[in-house]
Chain A
Amino acid sequence: MWQIAKLYAFMLIAAFSLMLGVSAESKPPLPQTIDILIDTEFVHSTLSPNEQRAELNWFHNAGSPYAGMTIHVVSEDIPTHRYESDVLAKAFYDLTGIHVIHEITKEDDVVRKLQVQMELGTHIYDAYVNDTDFIGTHSRYKKTLPISTMINTQWRDITLPSLDLADFIGLDFAKGVDGTLYQLPTQQFANLYWYRHDWFTDPSLKRRFKQYFGYELGVPQNWAAYEDIAHFFTNIVEKIDGQRVWGHMDYGFFEPSLGWRISDSWLSLAGANDRQYQADNDYAEYHGVSDWGIRVKGCHPVGASVSRGGSLDSPAAVYAVNSYINWLYEYAPPNAVNQTFSSSTESLSTGNIAQQIFWYTAFIPKVLTEALLDDDGLPVWRVAPTPRGKYWQVGMKSGYQDISGWTFMTSTPPKNSEAAWLYAQFVVSKTVSMAKFLHGFTPIRQSDLQSDYLLKNAHRWGGLLEFYNSDARNHWSPTGLSVPDYAALSSAWWQHIGPLVGGRVDASEAMSQLAADMDERLETIGQNTNITCQPILNRKTPNEHWLNQTGAPWPEQKQQPQPVTLTYQEALSIWRD
C-alpha cells in the first residue's frame, strides 16, 4: 500500500510539474526513483528487489561522471527497441542524468549510417544496435571496439559486476573469426513457422484435408506438405465463418526488405549449403559452403557462384526462389506482392491467414490481438519448426535468427562510447531484461527463460518459450562469418530478386545474375588489403566440377519428397531432441 501511495504522490508531483512546464527536469530523490522503477516498471525480474536496487544504484554511481551528457544511439523498428527508446532511455536518465536519444528507424537506414561511419571514419552515433549478421564485417575490418577486450581494460570500471556474459544465449553469434566479442546482444528473435492451431485441429477441416490429400493435416515438416496445406486453405477451403482465408502469406515489394526474404537463410532452409559450422570449431580450419551460398576456405570467402564452388546459383538455390515465387503468386492474398517486410506483418493480425512459413517472432505483439486469441485470452496460433526444402539434410542450418547487439565504433570519442556502454548494459541488465521481454518477446538471457514467471506463462506465447528453452535456438542462426561485408553485399539480393518477382527474368537467370554480381563484389572487397580473412576468389571452372564433388553445391534432385506432417506435440519434440 505504501508503494502505491508513493507512486500516486509522485504522479501528482509529476502532473503538477507538467503544468508548470518543467516536467522533465523535476525528479524525485534517487532512492524514490529506484523504488518507483522497481515497483512499477521492472516488476518481473530474476533478481530480488534488493539486488535490483544494488544494480540500479551501481548505474547511478557509474554514470555520475557522464551526467549531463547527451548520447545518440540508433536501432531498427521493432517493439523491443520502441520500449528501450520510449521507456528505458527515460529511466536511464532518471538514474544517471545521461540523456539518451535512442533513434528508431528502418533497418536499411541503420545499416547505411553504420556503413558511412565505418567507411568515412566520421562520428555519427555513439552506439549502434546492429544485427550480428555483420559479425563477418566487424571481425574483418577492425573498426569496431572489441567488447571482450574493452571490459578488461578501458571499460573495466564501468562494466556492471552482474552483467554475467555467460547468461546471454546469443553470445557465440556475436564473436568474430578469432573468438573476440564485438557485439553485446540486446534482443533476438527467430524466423519460425506460424500457423492457426485452432484450424489445424478442427475435426471437419482435418477430415476434408485427409480426404483430399490422404494424410493428416498437421505441422508440415517439408515444403511438399507446406504447399499442400497452402493449396488446401487458399483453393479448397476458401472461406471460414464467411471470411476469405489464405493458405500462405508473404511479401514481394521491390525495396531493400525484399532482399531479407531470401538472404535470411531461405537458401539454407532449401538445403543449398553444407552442414552448419559449429562455433566451438576453429573457423580458420573451416572449408565449405555457408550463408548466402558463399564458399569459405580457411576463413577466406572464395566465391558464391557454382563456378567458383559456391551455391548461390545452384539447383537448390533456384528451387528455393522458385518455391518462394510460386507460393507468393499461387497461394498468398493478391496484395502480398505489394507488401514489405513491415506491412506484411499486419496481415496475420486480421485473422485470415492459415500459415506462414517465414515469420519473425519479433512480431508476436502483432498477433496477440483479439482476432487471434481464444475466449481465455490465449493464442489460437502456434510457432513450430520451419519446414525444410528437398535438398535439406540433418546438420544443415534449420532456420534464421536475428540477433541485434550493441556495437561501438573506434571512430566514436571514447567518453561518448563509455556513456553509451553504460546505457547498453542498462537495457540488458537482469533488472530490466524480463520487463523488456514482456514488451517485445525477444529474449536474451538464459536466467529469464528459466524463470518461474516465464515458464508459468509459456502457454501465452504459442511455443516461443519452448523454442528458446531448447537447443534449437543454436541451429536457427544469424548470417555468419562467410559474409565478409554485409553492407557492401546485401543490396545485391533485392536488386536481383526484384526482377524475378516482377516476372522480367526466371529463377535460374535471377540467381545466375545474383551470383555473378556477388562474386564481383567479393572480388572488390578482396582488393582491400587492410582487412583480415579477405575474399580470395577461386578460379572459374565449369559448374560440373563442383556439382560432381561431395557436399555443396548439390546437383539437381528431380525426385519430389513425400509430404510429411506431425502433430504440434510431435513437432515440438524436434526442438526438445
Chain B
Amino acid sequence: MARLGLLLLLSLMQSQAHALINLLVYDYPPLVETHQDTEPTGQVVDLIKPLFKRAEVPYQFVKQPLRRALHQTSQQRDYCAFPVARTQQREANFKWIGPIAITRHSFYSTSDNPIQLVTLNDAKELTIGVFAGSGVSKYLKDNRFKIYETSSIQQGMQMLKHRRIDLWVTEAQATKELANYGMTNLNSNLSFYTSISFMACNRDLPEKIHRALTTELSHMHRSGETQALLHVGF
C-alpha cells in the first residue's frame, strides 16, 4: 500500500512538472552510438542529457530506426527523435529544438580503390552508399546522384568492402567510429555537405516543455558550453 502511495505521489509530482518524453535515437556515430544494454552515448547525447536535466524534463531513450522514429514522433504526443535534418518538407510536421549538431559529410573509399574528386560533380558517375533517411541521403537524391541507401553502417561497410558501392558517406571525422566496424583502410575523398541537426518533437508537445528546452539550449549555446559538442567534423 505504501509502495502504491509512493508511486501515486511520484506520478502526481511528475504530472505537475513535465510528462516523460520518449527520445527516439538510432545509431549514427559520432553523434549517437547505441548499445545493447546501456544508454546511448555520443556527442549529441552528451548535449541532450544535461539539456533535459536542467530544463527538468524527464526522459527515456528508445532505440529505433530513423524512418520509424520520425513516423512515431509525428503520431504520438510525448515523443521526440534526434538527430534529424530539419528539411523544408519536414518543417511543418514537427516542433523543433536545436541546433544540436553541425556536421560536415565526406565521401570515403577504400584505399585499394583510389578515387580523386575535385568537385561534388565528379562523384556523379559513382555509386554512393548512404544511411537511409538521413539528410545527406535526401540531398544526394535531390541532386540526382546514384545512391544506395543502407539501413545500417555495417551494411554500408560490407558493400564498400566488396565494391558494390564506390563511396560511403559519413561525417568528416567518423573514421574512428568506422574502425569499430573493421574498416581501417579508408580514404576521405571530399567533404561536400554540411548538415545542421535538430531534435524533432511531436507538434502537440506541450508549449511549456518546448519553451523550457529551447530556452535552456539557447543559454547553453550562448555560454559557449556547447561549442565543442555542436561543431563536429570541420
Q: A254 an interface residue at 8 Å Cβ cutoff? A: yes
Does A90 contact B118, Cβ atoms closer than 8 Å?
yes
Within 114-141 of B, Cβ neighbours of A (below 8 Å) are at 114-122, 139
Q: Chain A contacts of B118 at CB under 8 A?
A: 24-25, 90, 93, 99
Does A90 contact B119, Cβ atoms closer than 8 Å?
yes
Provided the pairs A85-B121, A122-B231, A256-B91 are in contact, do residues A103 and B116 lie with their beta carbons within 8 angstroms?
no
Q: B181 an interface residue at 8 Å Cβ cutoff? A: no
Query: Which one of A85, A123, A255 contacts B89 once the chains associate, using CB atoms below 8 Å?
Result: A255
Provided the pairs A108-B91, A124-B194 are in contact, do residues A21 and B114 lie with their beta carbons within 8 angstroms?
yes
Provided the pairs A70-B191, A113-B196, A116-B99 are in contact, do residues A101 and B119 lie with their beta carbons within 8 angstroms?
yes
Does A125 contact B116, Cβ atoms closer than 8 Å?
no
Does B88 contact A106, Cβ atoms closer than 8 Å?
yes
Q: Chain B contacts of A124 at CB under 8 A?
A: 102, 194, 196
Q: B221 an interface residue at 8 Å Cβ cutoff? A: yes
Q: Chain B contacts of A89 at CB under 8 A?
A: 119, 121
Q: Chain B contacts of A21 at CB under 8 A?
A: 114-116
CB distance from B99 to the nearest CB of A (A): 6
Does A23 contact B122, Cβ atoms closer than 8 Å?
yes
Q: Chain A contacts of B87 at CB under 8 A?
A: 106, 108-109
A533 to B190, CA, bound (A): 43
Closest Cβ neighbor of B222 among chain A residues: A120
Size class of the A contact interface (CB-based, 8 Å)? 35 or more
Does A101 contact B91, Cβ atoms closer than 8 Å?
no
A22 to B117, CA, bound (A): 9
Closest Cβ neighbor of A27 among chain B residues: B118
CB distance from A87 to the nearest CB of B (A): 8
Per-residue contact bits, chain A 85-117, to B (CB 8 Å; 1 contact, 0 not): 110011001000001111111111100110010
Number of A-B contacts (CB under 8 A): 91
Does B119 contact A100, Cβ atoms closer than 8 Å?
yes
CB distance from A254 to the nearest CB of B (A): 5
Q: Chain A contacts of B121 at CB under 8 A?
A: 85-86, 89-90
Q: B84 an interface residue at 8 Å Cβ cutoff? A: no
A571 to B117, CA, bound (A): 51
Q: B227 an interface residue at 8 Å Cβ cutoff? A: yes
Does B194 contact A113, Cβ atoms closer than 8 Å?
yes
Does A74 contact B221, Cβ atoms closer than 8 Å?
no
Does B194 contact A255, Cβ atoms closer than 8 Å?
no
Q: DSSP majority for the B interface?
A: mixed
Does A254 contact B92, Cβ atoms closer than 8 Å?
yes
Does A93 contact B119, Cβ atoms closer than 8 Å?
yes
Q: Chain B contacts of A314 at CB under 8 A?
A: none
Per-residue contact bits, chain B 81-108, to A (CB 8 Å; 1 contact, 0 not): 0000011110110000001001010000
Q: A206 an interface residue at 8 Å Cβ cutoff? A: no
Q: Chain B contacts of A72 at CB under 8 A?
A: 104, 191, 194
A267 to B116, CA, bound (A): 51
Closest Cβ neighbor of B102 among chain A residues: A124
Interface-central residue, B118, B121, B122, B191, by most chain A CB under 10 Å: B118
A112 to B194, CA, bound (A): 12
Does B230 contact A122, Cβ atoms closer than 8 Å?
yes
Q: B52 an interface residue at 8 Å Cβ cutoff? A: no
Closest Cβ neighbor of A91 among chain B residues: B119
A442 to B193, CA, bound (A): 25
Does A122 contact B102, Cβ atoms closer than 8 Å?
yes
A77 to B196, CA, bound (A): 18
A101 to B107, CA, bound (A): 13
Does A116 contact B102, Cβ atoms closer than 8 Å?
yes
Q: Chain A contacts of B117 at CB under 8 A?
A: 24
Per-residue contact bits, chain B 186-205, to A (CB 8 Å; 1 contact, 0 not): 00001111101000000000
CB distance from A225 to the nearest CB of B (A): 34
Query: Which one of B99, B143, B192 contacts A101 once the chains associate, using CB atoms below 8 Å?
Result: B192
Q: A residues bordering B, Cβ < 8 Å?
A: 21-25, 70, 72, 74, 77, 85-86, 89-90, 93, 99-109, 112-113, 116, 119-120, 122-125, 254-257, 340, 494, 498
> In the complex, given contacts A23-B116, A85-B119, what are 9 additional A-B residue pairs having Cβ atoms less than 8 angstroms apart?
A21-B116, A89-B119, A89-B121, A90-B122, A101-B190, A107-B88, A116-B102, A119-B221, A120-B230
Closest 8 CB pairs between A and B?
A24-B118, A108-B88, A106-B88, A24-B116, A86-B121, A89-B119, A90-B119, A254-B92
13 A–B pairs (Cβ distance < 8 Å), ordered by A: A24-B117, A24-B119, A85-B119, A85-B120, A86-B121, A90-B118, A101-B119, A102-B120, A103-B120, A105-B139, A116-B196, A255-B92, A256-B88
